[in-house]
Amino acid sequence: MRCGYFDAGVCRSCTLLAQPYPEQVDAQQRHVRTVLGDPAGVTWLPTVTSAEAGFRNKAKMVVAGTVDAPTLGILDAHGHGVDLQGCPLYPPAVSAALPPLAAFVTRAGLVPYDVPTRRGELKHVLVTGSPDGELLVRFVLRSTEALARIRKHLPSLQAALPSLVVASVNVQPAHAAVLEGDREILLTERGTLRMRVNGLDLHLRPRSFFQTNTDVAAALYRQAVAWADEAEVASAWDLYCGVGGFALHLARPGRTVVGVETSAEAVASAEQTAHDAGLPGTRFLAGDATAFALAAHDVPDLVVVNPPRRGLGEPLSRWLEGSGVPRVLYSSCHSGSLARDLAHMPSLRLVRAQVLDMFPHTGHHEVLTLLERR
């Protein structure tokens, strides 16, 4: 992938861009195997590769500059805006949305937040695109001062962007490197973006987490299902289930699936998908994954875990070790925390693994592992 911003030295977010893509993929798998100690007896599936450009379904654009000349992109070392509207990471629907959104900043009189002076209102514009080309747009504001103007001019934005189906305002008042706040104000009649993945319509609400690479996420879910079906599991938990990606793919007649997630919004999204798809035997709970496991009286045939970068942590890892659960599917976005967690689960042997290049041109990765009790 060629990128003018990288070549000009104005953006280095894709740290590995100068390295040929096949070399990135090979180095990534070697790194993961080294971090995990390259244990004997593990079957490593070929790495799932990604398109080199146009793969990122979400644009997190810092807004800077002025009302009349806003920038959408990143900040430089001095806190000034660097416009990246032509970034090649985004699919056509997301890329096409950025110029109309910049024009909307001017039309609605949204003052970009200036980090050095701590003045202004609009901090970020977050754009998520679905495989069908529909868009979810969020305006992250310091306060609600500009809310009325956004509402007033929203019809003009919808006319310019017919693919815009969900819009919201997020309020993040703190002067801190925090992407979003706790308060979300929905501006449209529709409240969810439909993400079609492997024939399932997953529903994303504004604050829901979803993998940033839709095609690679689809491959991730397919591999998890293949391993679960091969083992003929009759019951499964999906801890840290998000909008239910793993749980909903695992659902089958005769199989019970429970998903647990702290975000009530994400649980509502998962329940909506399960209802719409008529999936049997699925149940979703809003709560802490570790607390749920520690309070359980029975264990399923399979536990799926997909924790944040920090990993499961010692309490849940040690619970899995002592629980007697025969199989664990662990999907990790950080091989270091995965290795730490595996050290607390010596009775669960790593038997299969696959690296998935969810984040091309960077050192980040996803790795799916199958653990079986010795």
Of 7, 101, 93, which is closest to residue 55 (Cα–Cα)? 93
Distance CA 315, CA 289 (A): 11
Residue tagged 């669960």 (tokens): 348
Distance CA 99, CA 59 (A): 13
Tell me, yes or no, if 333 is annotated catalytic. Answer: yes
Distance CA 33, CA 39 (A): 8
Of 249, 248, 220, which is closest to residue 359 (Cα–Cα)? 220
Catalytic-labelled residue, pool 3, 14, 241, 333: 333
Close Cβ partners of 20 (under 8 Å, ≥ 6 residues apart)? none
Distance CA 26, CA 46 (A): 10
Task: Provide DSSP, 35-102.
Answer: HTT--TTPEEPPPBP--SSS-B-EEEEEEEE-SSSEEEEEE-TTS-EEE-TT-TTS-HHHHHHHHHHH
Handedness of CA 303, 37, 309, 6 (dihedral sign): negative
Handedness of CA 163, 182, 120, 144 (dihedral sign): positive
Whole-angstrom CA distances from 187 to 86, 181, 209, 262, 358 are: 27, 17, 20, 24, 31
Catalogue the active-site residues. 333
